[in-house]
Amino acid sequence: MTNTAAEPMAELWRGGLLESVHRGHAVICDDKGQVVESWGNPGEIIFPRSSCKMIQALPLMESGAFDAAGLTEAHAAFTCASHYGSGLHVQMARTWLEGLGMGEADLRCGSHEPNDKVERNRLIKSDESPCQYHNNCSGKHSGFLTMNRHLKADAEYTEVDHPLQVQIKQAFEEVTDETSAGWGIDGCSAPNFACSLHGLARAMGRFAGATGEGDGRDRAMHRLTRAMAAHPVLVSGDTSCDTELMRAMDGRVTLKGGAEAVHVAIIPELKLGVALKIVDGGYRASDSAIAAILVKLGVLDADHKLTRKRLNPVQKNWRGKETGVLKNLL
């Protein structure tokens, strides 16, 4: 009988006692969409959140709008980003939109304080407020605006019935090979379409199998995957799981996390895609689980210092004293 319950994936131990348990689901798929290995329920319906940004970028790449705007590999990585809002990220978004004859007011992602400490402190010291360029999704929305200009559609590009979002939904359903179970509003105001974890892993497997020599979708998948792996700091931030582990694997694997502890991996050399979801939304567990799966698949060195930060990491308090350990169970 197939297990459909969420499986324990990480445990927090303190003083020799079990303090917390993180349960989840995970799926590994090949480039044909077949399940290679799974934990929990592959059919679990989830919101992929930001883990699917490379899917949301497919219409931009396939339409020719990306190339027509004279954009680079770095822009391709940035359109899939959940970035830290550093000075680098803010400047990237600003110059991108200025090149289109647009500006911050054209974005519909909203503003929030940057995760990057240097930029956050600069804003505080200069008594400035964060703007929409600081939003971790401003790269994705710059891509949206590029595609929207190509479509000559109205300014409210985040509405679910907008021509841009209609194209994104179609691409999403095609690569997951599922009719979406529904949709919700993401943190950046764009629609986020639900799918099964198997569907998300199936899509990642297809990205992994893309050669760059096939049809328009194959070429778009190949370009996005390689761009993200080549520019890990543009995808997230210097201390993030995605950026650090992509660096640890020397660009051989593409990683993308999403809110509420969703994580995906694209492994071209093995033609495998991975998708996982921690039920309680705990990032420490999803970071640990994705690292463990990558080690299990032989593409991440368990002894690399950036792996050890997430695989069975020791917990310390504010005085630097060891308080416990997060044990990975995969």
Identify the band that residue 4 occupies on the pLDDT scale cut at 50, 70 and 90.
confident
CA 17 to chain centre: 34
Handedness of CA 293, 195, 93, 60 (dihedral sign): positive
Read off the tokens for 291: 């690292």
The pLDDT tens digits for 246-301 are: 999 999 999 999 999 999 999 999 999 999 999 999 999 999 999 999 999 999 99
Flag whether the pTM goes above 0.75. yes
CA–CA distance, 138 with 6 (Å, rounded to integer) = 33
Phi, psi values for residue 328, rounded to 5°: -80, 140
Q: What is the mean pLDDT of residues 80-102?
A: 98
Q: What is the mean pLDDT of residues 211-222?
A: 97
Task: Kindly state the average pLDDT of the residues 43-54.
Answer: 98
Cβ–Cβ under 8 Å, residues 145 and 75:
no
Q: In the chain, at which residue ranges do the beta strands (DSSP E only) sit?
A: 7-14, 17-30, 35-39, 45-46, 183-185, 191-193, 195-196, 254-258, 262-267, 272-278, 314-316, 322-328
Residue 1 pLDDT: 32
CA torsion angle for 55, 306, 269, 64 (degrees, to 10)? 30
Q: What percentage of the chain carries pLDDT values higher than 90? A: 99
The reported pLDDT for the residue numbered 3 is 55
Could you give the domains of the chain? 7-328 (3.40.710)
The CA-atom distances, in angstroms, between 101 and each of 81, 104, 105, 109, 155 are 22, 11, 12, 18, 14
pLDDT confidence of residue 61: 98
Q: Can you say whether the dihedral through the CA atoms of 190, 191, 197, 202 is positive or negative?
A: negative
Report how far residue 87's alpha carbon sits from residue 108's, in angstroms, rounded to the nearest whole number. Answer: 20
Write down the mean pLDDT value for the chain. Answer: 97
pLDDT of the residue at 246: 98
